[in-house]
Amino acid sequence: MQARSVFSLPARALVCALFAFAAPMHASAEDLPDVCSALKEIVAAKSFTTLDQARPLMPAGAPGQGTCHASSHAYDCRWKAHWGADGVVADPLQELGADIAACFPNVVHDVNTATRQHFVIRSDVKDAPRRVAVTASTDGPSALRLRVVR
């Protein structure tokens, strides 16, 4: 007696095709820009005016898509939020908030709404600012804003 498959040949072909197309769409951690290094460099800057204005530091998915303005005490970036989510969180603001929370060991996440995420980052590093406020928010229907203030 020969065993029969529950799936017909066309159904099996469809499943194989779906797996073939889905595999390249999955991004590994090595493929994604390093969000933490950009955020840490911004937060650690003694003066935001020392950051490279020709190549502004922005979180993953944003480079080349927005603008940043710096003063000695504030760094303010805005960009279109058109990058795809990593498959865990579908909302770019929530994803950025999760990245900020994960990047810093001494962080207090005190505001979490659908339009605004606010964090206070404390530093124990000598000669570094003691507290830095980081706000990620929506800036219109398809844009994000990151503001870092000390």
User: 123-142 pLDDT, tens per residue?
Assistant: 766 666 678 999 999 988 77
Give the integer Cα–Cα distance in Å for 87 and 129: 35
pTM of the predicted protein model: 0.68
Residues 22-76 have pLDDT tens digits of: 333 333 334 345 788 888 888 888 888 888 765 666 655 554 567 888 998 899 9
Residue 15 tokens, joined = 């499943």
DSSP per residue, the chain = -----SS-HHHHHHHHHHHHHHHHHPPPGGGS--HHHHHHHHHH-SSGGGS-SSS----TT-TTSEEEEE-SSEEEEEEE--SPP-SS-S-HHHHHHHHHHHH-SSEEEEEE-SSEEEEEEE--STTS-SEEEEEEEE-STTEEEEEEE-
Considering only CA atoms, which of 87, 121, 84 is closest in space to residue 106? 121
pLDDT tier, 109 (very low <50, low <70, confident <90, very high otherwise) = very high
Give the integer Cα–Cα distance in Å for 132 and 150: 5
Neighbours of 94 (CB within 10 A): 16
Residues 49-58 have pLDDT tens digits of: 888 765 666 6
Which residues pair with residue 133 across a beta bridge? 120, 149
Residues 3-17 have pLDDT tens digits of: 554 444 444 443 333
- 2 pLDDT exceeds 70? no
